[in-house]
Amino acid sequence: MATSITCPNCKHPFVMEEAFAADIEKEMRGKMETEWRKRMESLQAEKHEMAQLRQQVAAERQQVLQDRQRQEEELNIRLQAEKIKLQESLMENIRKDVSADFENKLRMLQEAQQESEEKLRTARQKELDFLRKAQELANREQELEIDLQKRMLEERSRLMEQIRKEELERTNVKETEYQLRQKELEKQLEDQRRLVEEMRRKAEQGSMQLQGEVQELALEEMLRSTFPFDAVSEVGKGVRGADCIQTVRNQFGQECGKIIYESKRTKDFSREWIEKLKADMRGQGADVAILVTQAMPRDMERFGERDGVWVCTFSDVKSLAYVLRDAIMKVYHSARSQENKGDKMHLLYHYLTSGEFAEQWSAIREGFRSMKTSIQREREAMEKLWKAREKQLEKVLLNAAHIKGSIEGIAGSDSVDLQLLDDAAEALLAPPNGTRKPEQDNI
């Protein structure tokens, strides 16, 4: 999951992983370019050395060609000079002594010609040797060039493989460091998220408690301003009870009854509030209980009565308080008008029809139902246990009958008294005197 961070200066959001990845990529790219530049400079130096060597070989070849050309020119010049000199000498000798020295000169000319031919053959042989050496030098240069190219390719491949391995190792190290750093950041973010969640939860609890206290104060202030003759008292913190109690008084200051209030300002409604408020109503001796809540029960759209408790929102509590207060005052005046007009029967009737008796009887009925449910569960558990024991007893008696049959088959007519299968078995199967198997009673 990508983590977005906002710059505190320019307010520009960016992804933290991309920023780290860009920095790492930039650093790795710079290192790779530096390493590649060094390798290329080394290759360029080697290439420059090879170029110098090639130039040196070419210069030596050119020098050899020039030397050969110069030798050929010198040889031709010498041959031409000797030929001219020989011709002149021959002509002169012929002119001097044509007849006398003709044979001698002819022989000498032939020898000179042979010598010239020998020198020419020697020169040609030298030329062939020079050409052969030049060809060998060219072949050697070509082999050297091929070997150099091969070495350069091998060195380049080796350097590329070494660079690739080094970069792979660096990448693995960087990747490991990045993963560890990412795990560390994720751990820090998770800790911060938990801390923020805990602080938010505490803040919400404090805010909900503060909102509840504000609604309680607003409810008390509304009751005091709406009903100035009544006494609105706050229930102390930490004391079992509702939020406030309204003591209804008539225009003469006489107490007509009590209305107990409890304020809830939460998102969800709980049925436990009703039972708690009913217990508080009985404990405080109130006539009516009103639960002021922000979240109504799911099946109630407006205010109404739920299990002896009036449930309403804060906007409806004022109207509901008017109606219930008026009903309490009417009941009080009706009861006052019946005073001294009857005997114990009237007092008993008044008590039986009062809200106090109804609440107390409701508490007795709830306790009775709880006791009945507990007895029913205990009865079902005991019947289950008895049924299991009956199965075990039947199994014992069945095995005992098998044993008796086996013994009688072996003993024949000899009697073997096994009381377990006769009277003892009936005694075990029969219930004890004065006891009976429990039955399902309707309570």
Q: Which residue has the higher pLDDT, 346 or 435?
A: 346
So what's the pLDDT on residue 435?
Answer: 43
103 or 166, higher pLDDT: 166
Confidence band (pLDDT; 50, 70, 90) for 415?
low
What digits encode the pLDDT tens for the residues 5-39? 677 777 777 666 666 667 777 777 788 888 888 88
The DSSP output letter for 419 is G
The answer, yes or no, to whether residue 239 has pLDDT greater than 50, is no
Q: In what order do the strands lie in the sheet with 244-249?
A: 231-234, 244-249, 255-264, 288-293, 309-312, 304-306
pLDDT value of residue 441: 41
Per-residue pLDDT at 104 exceeds 60: yes
Contact between residue 289 and residue 318 where contact means Cβ atoms under 8 Å apart: no
pLDDT of residue 434: 43
Cα–Cα distance for residue pair 198/223, rounded to 1 Å:
37
CB 292 within 8 A of CB 264: yes
How many whole angstroms separate alpha carbon 240 and alpha carbon 270?
A: 18
Residue 3: both structure tokens together: 């983590």
pLDDT band at 437 (very low <50, low <70, confident <90, very high): very low
Residue 339 has pLDDT above 70, yes or no: no
The per-residue pLDDT for 97 is 64
Determine the Cα–Cα distance for residues 202 and 210; give it in Å rounded to an integer: 12
The C-alpha atoms of residue 350 and residue 330 are separated, in whole angstroms, by: 14
Q: What is the mean pLDDT of residues 51-58?
A: 82
Task: Tell me the pLDDT tens digit for each residue of 140-184.
Answer: 888 888 888 888 888 888 888 888 888 888 888 877 887 887 777
> Rounded distance, CA 18 to CA 209, Å?
43
pLDDT attached to residue 16: 63
- Please give the average per-residue pLDDT across 104-109, as a whole number: 73
Angle between helix axes 102-226 and 317-337 (nearest 10 degrees) is 20
pLDDT of the residue at 45: 84
Within its chain, how far is the Cα of 141 from the centroid? Answer: 67
Give pLDDT, residue 255: 87
* Angle of CA points 395, 399, 404, to nearest 5°: 145
Instruction: State how far Cα 176 lies from the chain centre.
Output: 19
Lowest-pLDDT range, 32-46, 112-126, 239-253, 297-311?
A: 239-253
SS3 letters for 207-222? HHHHHHHHHHHHHHHH
- C-alpha 53/C-alpha 85 separation (Å) is 47
- Whole-number mean pLDDT of the chain? 77
In whole angstroms, how large is the CA radius of gyration of the chain?
Answer: 64
Placement of tokens 């009590």 in the chain: 258
Find, among 207, 276, 290, the residue nearest to 244 by Cα: 290
For 410-414, what is the mean pLDDT?
63
Residues 353-365: what's their mean pLDDT?
76
Q: What is the DSSP letter of 354?
A: S
Structure confidence by residue, pLDDT tens digits, 225-236: 888 888 888 875
Please give the full DSSP string across 80-139, using - where no structure is assigned.
HHHHHHHHHHHHHHHHHSTTTSHHHHHHHHHHHHHHHHHHHHHHHHHHHHHHHHHHHHHH
